[in-house]
Amino acid sequence: MSDNNNEQNGDDLLKRIKRLGIQTKKRKNVPVEDSDFSVAELQRDLSLVAKTILHIKDGFLWIAPKIIRPLIRILPFLKNIWQFYKRLWRWFCYPERKLYKEIYFQVSNFFKTFGQKSPEVTDSINTDDEAESEKELARFSRGRAGVFICLTFLVFAWPLRVPYLKDISYATCYEPVYDSVRIAANMLLHGGKIRVETVYLNGKNELSAEDNYWSINGCEDKVECPPEDAVYFRVKPSLVHFIWSIVTKGLPFIADDVAGVVPNVPSQCRVKSYGSRWRLMKWMQSYPIALDVKCEMLKR
């Protein structure tokens, strides 16, 4: 009888232990097996990341003598770009003063030394103990270095066709430069002002709804003209257009508003634009860019 009671008590004790184990697991809300698996998985992931970094380093050490150096011999300007990049890294990541003060200092220096012979700059940045002194290491800014690396990646995202970032890279790093050069050239040809002309427009067409890209077409000095004498404008959103609109009109640039005022019937329009209408540029699919349009429909 006592043996049966002992067995029953043992069974009850085992059941209580199991219940306590289940309750403990529920409180933690993480199964023991999953927790062990997560730690092992994390260790494997970290090991894989470390190996990947080492492989990238080995790959770069192979690329440098096999590809980069031969390219520099063929295209010497690449060396100047690389040296400029290293000097920019040193200036940005080892600050001697706050960023806005540094920019003011550099601009002041530029105007002071404008027209004078610039001092020679060493071809490379030494990385030995003398160059990387304790004072320089103390000035090193990890935050600025992180920003510099992110900006470098953003600049190369468009040429490398990085998904999601390539459009941002083009809109912030490349398109503003291209648009600014075209506007500057147009202003030089028109006495420091953006070209304003009166043309006859026949309508508009949305080329890309996703990019908010429009085409406007018509004739230069009469309502009807042959195709070879037709004039075309493009309307597109751009960082430079946005800044121009804020400065001149106090309003943001919206491509829909610019193209939307053009009726789909012959109209006399006053167009503010930049860019060339040379036949060669038309063959290259490079058309003038309209910044502002005001139209009045012609009476029949």
Average pLDDT over residues 106-132: 54
Task: Evaluate if pTM is beyond 0.85.
Answer: no
Q: What is the pLDDT of residue 135?
A: 57
């060669």: which residue's tokens? 280
Element (H, E) at 211: none
Q: Which residues contact residue 91 at a Cβ distance below 8 angstroms, ignoring those fewer than 6 apart?
A: 102
Say how far apart CA 216 and CA 206 lie, in whole Å: 9
Distance of CA 28 to the CA centre of its chain: 44
Pick from 113-117, 175-179, 242-246: least confident: 113-117
- pLDDT grade for 119, boundaries at 50, 70 and 90: very low
**58-65 contact pairs (CB < 8 A, 24+):** none
> What pLDDT is recorded for position 292?
94
Candidates 221, 226, 298; CA nearest to 265 is 298
Q: So what's the pLDDT on residue 200?
A: 93
Give the per-residue pLDDT at 126.
47
d(CA 231, CA 222) in angstroms, rounded, equals 11
Q: Give the range with max mean pLDDT: 100-109, 153-162, 274-283.
A: 153-162
What are the angstrom distances between the C-alpha of 257 and each of 50, 184, 212, 263?
52, 24, 11, 12
Q: Would you call 243 helix, strand, or coil by DSSP? A: helix
Average pLDDT, the chain: 79
Write down the pLDDT at residue 238: 94
Q: Where residue 19 falls among pLDDT bands split at 50, 70, 90?
A: low
Determine the Cα–Cα distance for residues 149 and 170; give it in Å rounded to an integer.
17
Q: How are the residues of the chain apportioned to helix, strand and coil, as percentages rounded to the nearest 5?
A: 55, 15, 30
| Backbone φ/ψ region at 115: left (φ over 0), alpha (ψ -120 to 50), beta | left
One-letter amino acid at 273 equals S
| Whether the Cβ atoms of residue 158 and residue 173 lie closer than 8 Å to each other | yes
26-81 per-position pLDDT tens digit? 555 545 444 445 677 777 877 787 777 777 767 777 877 888 788 888 888 888 88
pLDDT at 118: 45
Mean pLDDT calculated for residue range 228-241: 91
Q: Which of the four pLDDT bands, split at 50, 70 and 90, describes residue 85? A: confident
Q: Per-residue pLDDT tens for 152-209?
A: 989 999 988 888 889 999 999 999 999 999 999 999 988 888 999 999 999 899 999 8
Predicted local confidence at residue 271, as pLDDT: 94
**Mean predicted confidence (pLDDT) in 129-152:** 73
The confidence score (pLDDT) of residue 170 equals 93
State residue 10's pLDDT score.
56
pLDDT of 142 strictly over 50: yes
- Is 235 a residue whose pLDDT tops 90? yes
